[in-house]
Amino acid sequence: MINIDTWISGYKVRAFNWIDNKRIYFNVQYYASGQSIEQSPVWDKTVYITDNEAGQKLIQNLTYSLVEYVASLKILKGQEITLTA
């Protein structure tokens, strides 16, 4: 069971098992320095990770690298990305 709700490298990060029981929801949000978290983030990026042993290890052991990778992605509005490890 994955449950992350924390700050990593200046990003707000949430991860949990998705409702389809096949993927893990992984969300990274960026807030400007001094910005209230009561406001919408400057940007918000979500990917899904295949919920298997490799995907769980990716999240548990390489969380920082995964956050940096997702932060660097260009995700178009309405685009859904699923990463499989």
- The confidence score (pLDDT) of residue 3 equals 96
Q: What is the tens place of the pLDDT at every residue in 25-63?
A: 999 999 999 999 999 999 999 999 999 999 999 999 999
Q: Which helix (H) or strand (E) holds 14?
A: strand 11-17
Q: How confident is the model at residue 13 (pLDDT cuts 50, 70, 90)?
A: very high
Q: Kindly state the percentage of the chain with pLDDT values over 70.
A: 100
- The confidence score (pLDDT) of residue 58 equals 96
The amino acid occupying position 19 is: I
- The confidence score (pLDDT) of residue 10 equals 95
- The confidence score (pLDDT) of residue 21 equals 93
Q: Which domain holds residue 12?
A: 3-83
Whether residue 66 contacts residue 81, with contact meaning beta carbons closer than 8 Å, is answered with no
Q: Which helix (H) or strand (E) holds 82?
A: strand 82-83
CA 13, 16, 19, 22 dihedral sign is: positive
Domain total in the chain: 1
